């Protein structure tokens, strides 16, 4: 029998519901209903709370005025981004670390969430991908939508994804895949675990990718939070990475652009993908083709604001905000250690990953923390099966709330 109707992309039906944050909201609302006077502190949010730096605001206002005048008005900009911003990115984010990039290897966009989600379009559906477990869910869900991941099992894991567990046993760092994979998503500094890789550790991934003709999709959205020497800020600091890696960067957490939207993706010209005859194709050309078709650039005032991050005042202002968040991270980390918790991350990233005490499940700990300390965080199980038994706190709150939350955890839990 033939049906005439609009059919759904059935891959969407395989997606897990937006269970994590809706379930958190449900539990918090219920608790608030039962305890209207409870002063709840949220250390679960992944959004920033400090405002845009003054240098950025000033540049944006000037750019808006330009848009209102006949002589300086700008219409469609280049899909790849304005040269004035791309040159500053290369000059400041890469050159000082010994990384040379050409202007047409940097693609300015309105976010790393969309870039990390969209990039998979360039790859064949039969490619096998590897993700860390726990993981930033966008990498998985975007591949599910595309139909690259196969069926789903009872643990919520997909047949065609190679999961790389990151648990206390391996120091919360992924081991190389046991079987060959084509695409590898890595995020360092990591959300949700707050962990980083050393240059030597990251080199093993680059070497693996070179040996296996795999491609590494490297998410460095939290690069600006790195405090320690020896931690790579860019995968391109690793020899050979230009042949096998793409890097995603975002101004969201670096400079408070979560609501303003600006990011960029670096696609070196050496990175190649192959067709069924074995001929090589440049990923850079393919991404350019994709972006020029499906994206029309970030607005001029936003790019002008982003460029102001690279002025002397802009750099100083974002350093101060990052320092503020990283002091919160230290307060959380030190406080939890003092209270006897096993804690990871929080040194080069705004995330603290703690092991739930007494064998409590992630959600059991969530409930206990909310009921006893009136503090809300994020259950690790929401980021993947290996996140069970772990819990994420973030450093993006106010100083006052961060200190109060830790004091409550120390005295009430």
Contact footprint for ligand PLP (CB under 6 A): 46, 111-113, 116, 136, 187, 191, 219, 221, 250, 252, 258, 263
Please return the burial class of 192, using the count of CB atoms within 10 Å of its CB with bins 0-12, 13-18 and 19+: buried
Minimum CB distance to ligand PLP smaller for 142 or for 374: 142
Minimum CB distance to ligand PLP smaller for 191 or for 386: 191
Minimum CB distance to ligand PLP smaller for 118 or for 373: 118
Minimum CB distance to ligand PLP smaller for 184 or for 409: 184
Least distance to ligand PLP, CB of residue 113, Å: 3
Minimum CB distance to ligand PLP smaller for 142 or for 356: 142
Minimum CB distance to ligand PLP smaller for 234 or for 252: 252
Least distance to ligand PLP, CB of residue 114, Å: 6
Least distance to ligand PLP, CB of residue 277, Å: 35
Minimum CB distance to ligand PLP smaller for 161 or for 373: 161
Least distance to ligand PLP, CB of residue 201, Å: 18
Least distance to ligand PLP, CB of residue 352, Å: 14
The answer to whether the beta carbons of residues 289 and 300 sit under 8 Å apart is no
Least distance to ligand PLP, CB of residue 138, Å: 7
Query: Mapped to the 3 state alphabet, what secondary structure does the chain carry?
Result: CCCCCCCCCHHHHHCCCCHHHHHHHHHHHHHHHHCCCCCCEECCCCCCCCCCCHHHHHHHHHHHHHHCCCCCCCCCCCCCCCHHHHHHHHHHHHHHHCCCCCHHHEEEECCHHHHHHHHHHHCCCCCCEEEEECCCCHHHHHHHHHCCCCCECCCCCECCEEEEECCHHHCCCCCCCCCCCCEEEEECCCCCCCCCCCHHHHHHHHHHHHHHCCEEEEECCCHHHCCCCCCCCCHHHCCCHHHCEEEEEEHHHHHCCCCCCCEEEECCCCCEEECCCCCEEEHHHHHHHHHHHHCCCCCHHHHHHHHHHHCHHHHHHHHHHHHHHHHHHHHHHHHHHHCCCCEEECCCCCEEEEECHHHCCHHHHHHHHHHHHCEECEEHHHHCHHHCCEEEEECCCCHHHHHHHHHHHHHHC
Least distance to ligand PLP, CB of residue 196, Å: 13
Least distance to ligand PLP, CB of residue 405, Å: 20
Least distance to ligand PLP, CB of residue 187, Å: 5
Minimum CB distance to ligand PLP smaller for 167 or for 258: 258
Minimum CB distance to ligand PLP smaller for 116 or for 214: 116
């Amino acid at each position: 029998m033939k049906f005439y109707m609009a059919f759904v992309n059935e891959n969407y039906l395989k997606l897990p519901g937006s269970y994590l944050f809706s379930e958190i909201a449900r539990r918090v609302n219920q608790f608030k209903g039962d305890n209207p006077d409870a002063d709840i502190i949220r250390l679960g949010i992944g959004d920033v709370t400090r405002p845009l730096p003054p240098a950025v605001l000033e540049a944006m206002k000037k750019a808006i005025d330009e848009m209102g005048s006949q002589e300086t008005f700008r219409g469609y900009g280049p899909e790849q981004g304005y040269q004035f911003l791309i040159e500053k990115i290369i000059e400041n984010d890469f050159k000082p670390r010994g990384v040379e990039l050409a202007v047409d290897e940097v693609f300015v966009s309105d976010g790393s969430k969309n870039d990390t989600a969209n990039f998979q379009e360039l790859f064949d559906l039969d490619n096998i991908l590897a993700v860390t477990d726990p993981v930033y869910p966008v990498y998985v869900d975007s591949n599910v939508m595309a139909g690259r991941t196969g069926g789903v099992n009872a643990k919520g894991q997909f047949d065609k994804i190679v999961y790389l567990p990151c648990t206390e046993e391996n120091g919360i760092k992924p081991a190389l895949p046991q079987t060959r994979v084509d695409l590898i998503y890595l995020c360092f500094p990591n959300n949700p675990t707050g962990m980083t890789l050393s240059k030597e550790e990251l080199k093993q991934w680059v070497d693996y990718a070179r040996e296996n003709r795999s491609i590494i999709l490297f998410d460095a959205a939290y690069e600006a939070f790195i405090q320690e020497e020896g931690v790579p800020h860019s995968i391109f600091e690793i020899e050979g990475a230009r042949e096998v890696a793409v890097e995603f960067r975002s101004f969201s957490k670096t400079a408070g652009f979560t609501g303003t939207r600006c990011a960029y993706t670096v696609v070196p010209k050496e990175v190649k993908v192959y067709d069924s005859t074995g001929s090589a194709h440049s990923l850079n050309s393919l991404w350019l083709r994709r972006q020029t078709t499906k994206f029309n650039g970030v607005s001029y005032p936003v790019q002008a604001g982003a460029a102001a991050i690279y002025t002397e005042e802009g750099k100083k202002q974002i350093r101060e905000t990052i320092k503020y968040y990283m002091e919160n991270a230290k307060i959380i980390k030190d406080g939890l250690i003092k209270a006897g918790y096993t804690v990871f991350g929080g040194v080069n990233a705004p995330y603290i990953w703690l092991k739930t005490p007494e064998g409590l499940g992630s959600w059991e700990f969530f409930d206990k923390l909310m009921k006893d300390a009136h503090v809300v965080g994020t259950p690790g199980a929401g980021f993947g099966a290996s996140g069970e038994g772990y819990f994420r706190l973030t450093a993006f709150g106010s100083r006052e709330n961060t200190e109060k939350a830790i004091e409550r955890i120390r005295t009430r839990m």
